[in-house]
Amino acid sequence: MVAGIDEVGRGAWAGPLSVGVAVLSETPRRIPRGLRDSKQLTEDSREAMFERVAAWCAGWAVGHAGPEECDRLGMTAALRLATRRAVDQLAPDLVPDAVVLDGTFDFVSPPALPQLFDADGAVEPDAVYAAGGAAPGAPGGPVWAPPVKTVIGGDARCASVAAASVLAKVTRDRMMRASADYYPAFDFERNKGYPSPAHQRALCGYGLSAVHRRSWAFVDNLPWELTTWPGDYRTRGSDLDGGLLGEPEDALADDVVEDLVGSSRDAHPG
């Protein structure tokens, strides 16, 4: 069994970090028409193909790490945690024997040693995978550590990774739309927690919500001492908007946001 894995929400300022796992059988059926990297598809296109992509996979799941876990653990451990939660949802006979992972950074393989930003200087237990029904990280339990093949542009080149990308993106988008009614000022139904102009304006007027990541660098520039429109705080030298307030009111892709808040290797992008 081979699985494609991809993450979404790494560059968002609010909402969960989500990891999708799409498992293929030894003889997968014909690839669903139009399946490709989720960032190349419109939101409506992703929604329309969601059920077909899900049915095409032998098994699939999406795991999440909440904003408070991203703050507490750092991005690397949060990615491992979300991946572990996704794998835990798979049936035992569908746990993949090998993984294809988008990008160059392997966040699937469990760390052999404590990482710099792991809580309390120890390997985060929830980020360690145990097979055979044992509790995660249980002493003596076999650790799930499949061979991992990282592929640059894998979400555009590999069908299983593209499937994981679509499934994770649609699942996370639905969660953000569902939360929009509770935080109407932030326009989450449109930007999905990414730093669009409306989202940044709301931060200037309302501050952080319960679903924002509080350790991200953008928090340092929030004008707590004065609630103003973005044009005013820019004149005071703040770089909260990253020069994006003139851009269209659309959600930003992770690769764009990475330029603003850092890569997935950073525990606290800045």
Residues 6+ apart with CB under 8 A from 59: 23, 90, 91, 94
Widest pairwise Cα distance in the chain:
61
Cβ pair 35, 159 in contact under 8 A: yes
Q: Please state the domain extents for the chain.
A: 2-177, 181-261
- 136 pLDDT exceeds 50? no
pLDDT (mean) for 170-193: 96
- 118 pLDDT exceeds 70? no
Hey, CA dihedral for 178, 184, 40, 217, is it positive or negative?
A: negative
pLDDT (mean) for 219-228: 58
- List residues bridging with 150 in a β-sheet: 101
Which pLDDT tens digit goes with each residue over 39-85?
Answer: 788 999 999 999 999 999 999 999 999 999 999 999 999 999 999 99
Q: Return d(Cα 172, Cα 63) in angstroms, integer.
A: 10
Q: Return d(Cα 218, Cα 226) in angstroms, integer.
A: 16
- 87 pLDDT exceeds 90? yes
- 215 pLDDT exceeds 60? yes
> What is the reported pLDDT for 46?
94
pLDDT (mean) for 104-133: 59
Q: How confident is the model at residue 253 (pLDDT cuts 50, 70, 90)?
A: low
Q: How confident is the model at residue 117 (pLDDT cuts 50, 70, 90)?
A: very low
Distances (CA, A) of 262 to 93, 125, 236, 269: 37, 25, 24, 4
CATH hierarchy code of domain 2-177? 3.30.420.10
- 137 pLDDT exceeds 50? no
Which pLDDT tens digit goes with each residue over 139-150?
Answer: 445 678 899 999
Q: How confident is the model at residue 27 (pLDDT cuts 50, 70, 90)?
A: confident
Q: pTM of the predicted model, to two decimals?
A: 0.75
Cβ pair 32, 190 in contact under 8 A: no
pLDDT (mean) for 114-141: 46
Joined tokens for residue 20:
């999708």
Residues of the chain with pLDDT > 90, as a percent, come to 51
> What is the reported pLDDT for 234?
40
Q: DSSP characters for 22-58?
A: EEE-SS--PPPTT---GGGS-HHHHHHHHHHHHHHSS
Cβ pair 98, 2 in contact under 8 A: yes
